[in-house]
Amino acid sequence: MAATADETEEHTDASDAASAPRRRRPGRIAMAVSVFGELLITAGVLLGLFVVYSLWWTNVIADRKADKQADKVREHWAQGTDSGPGALDTKDGIGFLHVPAMRNGEVLVEKGTGTDVLNDGVAGYYTDPDKATLPMTGKKGNFTLAAHRDGHGAKFHNIDKLKDGDPIVFETKDDWYVYKVYSILPETSKYNVKVISQVPKESGKKKPGHYITLTTCTPVYTSEYRYVVWGELVRVEKVNSKRTPPAELRG
C-alpha cells in the first residue's frame, strides 16, 4: 500500500532529526570557568564601590562633620566665652591650621590623633607618646599634628607639595602663629616617635624652640610609612576685629 503524503512528511522529519548533530552540553570545567568569571566580575564591582567609598564618600562625610564643628568653634569665639574653643585644651577644637601649599583650606585642630578624631576630617595634636606643646602656652616645645592623607577628609593629602620656606599658619581665638618650613623627611618608620620630640633632633635642631610638626601616612593610599614636615615659629600676630589674616595667607 502506498504511503500517504502525511506519512511521508513525518518520515522525512524523523530522518532529519536523527541525522542532525546533537548539541553538546557544556562540561563541568566550562561551567566552573563561567561561574568563576561571574564571581570575578562581581568582586571587581564590589572592590570598585569600596574604593569609591573609601576615597570619595568618606571625604564627603568627613568634610560635612568638620564644617559643622568649625562653625561651632567660630560661634564660641564670637561669643567671647573663656570656656569655649580658644582655651588651651578643649574638646571642641583649639584653632585652625592654614597651609597654602597644600591647598586644603582651613583645617580645624582638635585634641588627639586616634581615628575617632581624624576620621572627622580634622587635624589632631598628639597626646601620646609625647604630648604636643600648644603654642598658646608661650612655652618652648613642639606643636605636633597629624591628619589623614587619603579618605576621611584627606587634609594632608598634598603634604608633599610643601617646600623649605613655605608658611604654615595656626589661627587661634586671639593670635596668628606664623611658622616657616625648615626641614622635610619624606619617609620614616611609623614607629619613629622621635620625629615628634619636643626638640626634633632628626630635623637638625639641637636646642629647644617653638616648632611645629606635620605628620601623615606615605606613600599615597597606604599607611606603611610616615611623611614629616617641620616648621619653626617666626612671629605671632594679634587678631584684629576683622580677623585679617597674615600676609602669607593673602597672596
Q: Which among 205, 14, 197, 184 is positioned nearest to 101, based on CA atoms?
A: 184
- In sign, the C-alpha dihedral spanning 53, 56, 57, 63 is positive
β-pair type (106-111, 123-125): parallel
Q: Which helix (H) or strand (E) holds 111?
A: strand 106-111
Q: What is the 8-class DSSP label of residue 191?
A: T
C-beta separation of 140 from 127 below 8 A: no
C-beta separation of 216 from 149 below 8 A: yes
CA distance 61 to 183: 33
- Per the residue annotation, which of 98, 152, 157, 217 is the catalytic one? 217
Count of CB atoms within 10 A of residue 177's CB?
23
Q: How many CA atoms lie within 13 A of 92 on its CB side?
A: 20
- Per the residue annotation, which of 76, 98, 148, 152 is the catalytic one? 148
**Three-state SS at 165:** coil
Q: Which among 126, 112, 211, 111 is positioned nearest to 168, based on CA atoms?
A: 211
Residue 217 is among the residues annotated as catalytic for this protein: yes
Residue 152 is among the residues annotated as catalytic for this protein: no
- Which residues are catalytic, by number? 148, 217
